[in-house]
Amino acid sequence: MLRARAWLVALLAAAAIAPACGGLSRFERHRDAGATSGDDDDDVTSPPDAGRPDGSGAGKGPTDAGGGARPPDAAPTDGASDAGPPDAGPPDAALPDAAPPDAALPDAGIPDWDVAGVAAGGDHACVLWSDGRVSCWGRNDTGQLGDGTTINRPAATQVIELPTAVSVAAYDRFTCAVVPDGSVRCWGSTDQQRLGSVPADPDPPWVAQPVTVPNVGGAFELSGGPTAGHACALTSDWLYCWGSNDVGQLARAEPASSARAAAAIGAFRVVSAAGSYSHACMVNDFGELGCAGATPGNGQQVNTDVFNSIVAISDALAVGTGADFGCALRTNGTVACWGTNGDGNLGNGTEEDSVEPVAVQGLEGATKLAVGAHHACALLDSSAVSCWGKNLHGQLGDGTTEQANRPVFVLEHLAPEPRALENIVDIAAGNEHTCAVVGSSYVYCWGSNLYGQLGTRATDEQSPWPIKVIDTFR
């Protein structure tokens, strides 16, 4: 293992060619080539009876998640309801005929290409097509849909003036994409320098079509986080971040937001990153997990402007961040979460906060993680999805609006009884809605639809069941 001093010398040398920012911590150490992680004792263990959620553990899900191969790598209510699933037919059986407010929708037509992935922001969502096009729907008051307007769109509309994209991420009132040359384009709110390239106090305070983030090259992926006011681009050597920094989430000592993308950390590859309005987290290629900002996962509840290790986890594959909590996907297919837990969003069967990671109960076989504002979901190797946490608007997709402090299956509304929605290959979670790619041709969303984020050509009609997004299927 290289000592911290040797790592720091390497970082300082690299800083001569890349703009560095922030402090360093024990998370930012590097092991000798060929070394493996996991030497430390693991403080987080799965329950001895952990398995895929079933009727006894989840309380609502079916007893069998279904088989199938591992997926390819590729109006708000006043309160929760105690009632079970409604008797009405499937929500996509009869779509509303209501026209969208303020303007007519463009005729998107039926595309003849496949769905490559889905992203969910605060109150909007986007799909990446296999030919590199990007379409978005939902809230658009700051141009986060990238169609040149600020009109909410309850059906998918194509992002304009965007070169072929290879990766898309949606945040709080803005959206970003990586294009094939490794540069990054963003659009939406300019508040707190979210777009990374717009002068302070622009008029109007948004850009409704893509603009280039400066000083970023070689990007292959973006951080996630529907509540985040900042974004990060992952490259082979550096993590470049820009935007809000009021609690140190950019790993910089100064609290000011930044329009200049800077390298927060280097000397090893970051394989996953996520942020929220209050913190940011990353995973390196050794499975080490570190967070900056308001980060209780390391056993403390203090703000920090460096990426501090969450030492209880040394085998992370990916990380997701909600409003005041975070979760990590581990190499053994389990998930551990930390932070606030008033909505059961830690998934450990309680509503007690935890400054240390705790295992999500009854969950195994997870291959992908999606974290919303107050809920989280995991894609399983059975191609089904389990979710937990807040469910006021049906964002867990189990046919109810009942909070769940343990995982419940996302269900299809089928007669004579619902069953787990399967053949899912990608998932994304927004503030109060969730979306999934089913097969290669369909996108389904569920939860709040106040701004049209379910993509049904209607607004203000939430759904606790998955419903097909219009204009995103072949």
31 belongs to a structural domain: no
**pTM (two decimals):** 0.78
Number of neighbouring beta carbons within 10 Å of residue 220:
12
Ranges of residues in the chain whose predicted pLDDT is under 50? 1-111, 267, 473-474
Give the Cα separation of 226 and 385 in Å (integer).
Answer: 19
CATH code: domain of residue 272: 2.130.10.30
Sheet with 115-120, side-by-side order of all strands: 115-120, 124-129, 134-138, 153-158
Is 46 part of a structural domain of the chain?
A: no
- Looking at the structure of the chain, the number of domains it has is 1
Question: Does the residue 14 lie in any domain?
Answer: no
The verdict on residue 29 lying in a domain is: no
Residue 460 is predicted with a pLDDT of 83
What residues contact residue 240 under an 8 Å CB cut-off, 6+ apart? 213, 215, 216, 219, 232, 233, 261, 262, 263, 264
pLDDT at 472: 57
Residue 332 lies inside a defined structural domain of this protein: yes
The answer as to whether 3 is a domain residue is: no
pLDDT at 269: 84
Task: State which residues form the domain around 283.
Answer: 51-468
Residue 22 lies in a domain: no
Phi, psi for 27 (deg, rounded to 5): -65, -25
Q: Is residue 21 part of a domain?
A: no
pLDDT of residue 455: 95
Cα separation, 47 vs 37, in Å, equals: 23
